[in-house]
Chain A
Amino acid sequence: MNNVKTVYKKSEGLTDKYMTYCPGCTHGVIHKIVAEVLVELDVLDRTIGISSVGCSVLNYDFFNCDMQQAAHGRAPAVATGIKRVRPNSIIFTYQGDGDLASIGIAEAIHAAHRGENITIVFVNNAIYGMTGGQMAPTTLIGQKTTTSPNGRDAKTQGLPLRIAEMMATIPGATYIERVSVHNPQHVRKAKKALMKAFTIQKENKGFTLIEFISTCPVNWGMTPKDAVDWAVDNMIPYYPLGVFKDATVGEEK
């Protein structure tokens, strides 16, 4: 079998633990590309990941690096605490939309505001997944959840919060991009965005946040295929993809 060569293998940035995510959820893909970027940048040994509260709470078991589990919404504060005493480490938080856009919005804003040299991986699936499908700040108008059974109503429940756009207005932020992982082409684009963000951190250039459009087939009540289609048809029009802030533009190489 001299002709056998490895063309693909699981990233060394991931452990061998079975992931706890539901079929059709995009957390697995996002974990994979985060892990690959950490390996490709050769920073895995000095990386500390911060797990948040939500579906990804157990990802301290999945990422093959030092990990610290944070209270609900507080991951950017925990990241700040670590980065200030261990400035040579690479720090990422991994947060859902309930964690970051709701209970942890102050911590996210102020980490950006202080220009903390950390990377936030923000996964937006427009719902609280872990707790069983309640309305999130990012839930779309008309979207039915267990706490908006008649569909989200802007009059009483407000309009969905656009995190990437909002974070881009913060002077201290360096790089903000929204990506999606609904097909291989976008997975590659998303990985490029992560590469950009972690490279900025590695070069001590400040705060970066990558927002991922994600799916929740179980709590959306859809098949995995329908969930992907729903994200493309409904989420991306309201949450457009792209770079919302890049303070490194124009820098001399």
Chain B
Amino acid sequence: MSKVLMKGNEAMALAAIKAGCEAFYGYPITPQNELPEYLSKHMALHGRVFVQAESEVAAINMVYGAAGAGARVLTSSSSPGIALKQEGISYMAGAELPAVIINVMRGGPGLGGIQPSQADYKQITRGGGNGDYYLYALAPETLQEAVDLIKEAFDIADYYRNPVMIAVDGLIGQMMEPVDLDREVPKWDLTPKTWVADGNRKNRERNVINSLYLDPNDLENHNLHLKEKFDDMRKNHQRYELVNMKNAEIAIVAYGSVSRIARTAIEILAEQGIKCGILRPITLFPYPKKAFHALPKTVKDLLVVEMSTGQMLEDVKLSNECHLPVHFFGRVGGIIPEAQEIVDKVLEIVGGEKHE
């Protein structure tokens, strides 16, 4: 298929339609508004559901309802709105309901700003709401990757009966790139949704969608059952990319827009004779620990670059098991790091601390 030039938020919306998304429930917030705006027109053209809710809290509970009735369902928001949605996200994890949530991240805390940020990392990777659960969380770096992952995300959500989060920053939502919306994506092995409470039970017992277990023995068993799913994600579905790692002496760890800037940085460094690779997490949960074991022995330092004050650092240190020194460079508040800033930081590390 040919590529089309589209804005990020609109391309992500169209990807959801292509994935068979039956319903969208959302609430306006910058910088993701083009996504619901696009869907408000195009869902109707496809005979599907679009509802602008009265709040993010209502929107996510509509998602919970529609998912419980067996629909493929989407919501999108940006950081403060995602914080509000945590109630319903926790309920969906508890009741084992699939849904796709797109978070076009902006700066915080509080009202923060409307420029790109990666400051929701902890919220995304630690579950986010109350209780013992995680989201399968994907962080694309290009529109093409965002589109492909959104199409696959609906399958992943159905497979695990768990919400999947697409974590992008405002830059990916707002920029335009050529994108092929009909690329094949991996298909997951899905079973029929026999558990739905959809009011269509001529030939089955009634179904109940619920996250309440008053008996602690039952709740413990339920939590252990959920943990099996998260352990399966950790064991079998970590995703990452290693870039330019052959003979690299240092590796930048970065995801999303920042990894693209790092790609420019390593080219500048190569011109100066410094071999720098990139370890790019694609899944933020499960964190791609395996990538750290795959690093070549030539790598002597790790540099984490983020649009946050270092929210990913702990995961890098735990994955690396204190094997290599971990350095950090971040810009925050909606400031996007420049390639030269990353280059300067790498030079500071390799120049100041020679490894023979």
Residues of A within 8 A of B (CB): 45-48, 50-51, 57-58, 60-61, 64-71, 74, 77-82, 84-86, 88-91, 106-107, 109-110, 113-114
User: Do A57 and B212 form a contact, CB below 8 Å, given A65-B206, A85-B69, A86-B69?
Assistant: yes
- CB A28 to nearest CB in B, in angstroms, measures 20
Chain-A contact segment, one of B49-57, B267-275, B303-311, B347-355: B49-57
B49 touches A48 (CB 8 A): no
B54 touches A84 (CB 8 A): no
The yes or no answer to B163 lying at the interface (CB within 8 A) is no
A78 touches B64 (CB 8 A): yes
Query: Can you give 18 A-B contacts (C-beta < 8 A)?
Result: A48-B197, A48-B198, A60-B208, A65-B201, A66-B208, A67-B209, A67-B210, A71-B87, A81-B65, A81-B73, A82-B197, A84-B66, A85-B49, A86-B69, A89-B199, A89-B200, A107-B61, A113-B54
Q: Contact check: which of A69, A77, A81, A107 meets B210 at CB < 8 Å?
A: A69
- CB B214 to nearest CB in A, in angstroms, measures 8
- Bound-state CA distance A109–B201 (Å) is 30
Q: Main secondary structure on chain B at its contact with chain A?
A: mixed
Q: Contact check: which of A51, A64, A81, A88 meets B61 at CB < 8 Å?
A: A81
B200 touches A85 (CB 8 A): no
By a CB distance below 8 angstroms, the chain A residues around B39 are none
B66 touches A81 (CB 8 A): yes
CB-nearest residue of chain B to A61: B208
- CB A103 to nearest CB in B, in angstroms, measures 10
CB-nearest residue of chain A to B50: A84
- CB B125 to nearest CB in A, in angstroms, measures 23
B53, B208, B211, B212, most chain A CB atoms within 10 A: B208
- Bound-state CA distance A173–B119 (Å) is 42
A90 touches B199 (CB 8 A): yes
A45 touches B201 (CB 8 A): yes
A80 touches B51 (CB 8 A): yes
Category for how many chain B residues contact A: 35 or more
CB-nearest residue of chain A to B57: A74
The yes or no answer to B264 lying at the interface (CB within 8 A) is no
Residues of B within 8 A of A (CB): 22-23, 25, 49, 51, 53-55, 57-59, 61-71, 73, 87-88, 91, 95, 197-202, 206-212
- CB A48 to nearest CB in B, in angstroms, measures 4
CB-nearest residue of chain A to B55: A106
- CB A141 to nearest CB in B, in angstroms, measures 30
Q: 15 other contacts beyond A74-B88, A88-B200, with CB at 8 A cut-off?
A: A47-B199, A66-B208, A74-B58, A80-B51, A81-B64, A81-B67, A82-B66, A82-B199, A84-B23, A85-B70, A86-B71, A86-B200, A106-B55, A106-B58, A107-B58
- CB A205 to nearest CB in B, in angstroms, measures 18
- Bound-state CA distance A69–B92 (Å) is 11
- Bound-state CA distance A158–B202 (Å) is 49
By a CB distance below 8 angstroms, the chain B residues around A77 are 53, 57-59, 61-62, 65
Q: Contact check: which of A82, A88, A109, A113 meets B68 at CB < 8 Å?
A: A82
B199 touches A81 (CB 8 A): no
- Bound-state CA distance A71–B65 (Å) is 11
By a CB distance below 8 angstroms, the chain B residues around A61 are 208
- CB A248 to nearest CB in B, in angstroms, measures 23
- Bound-state CA distance A114–B54 (Å) is 10
- Bound-state CA distance A106–B65 (Å) is 17
User: Do A78 and B61 form a contact, CB below 8 Å, given A45-B201, A71-B88, A86-B200?
Assistant: yes
- Bound-state CA distance A82–B25 (Å) is 11
- CB A57 to nearest CB in B, in angstroms, measures 7
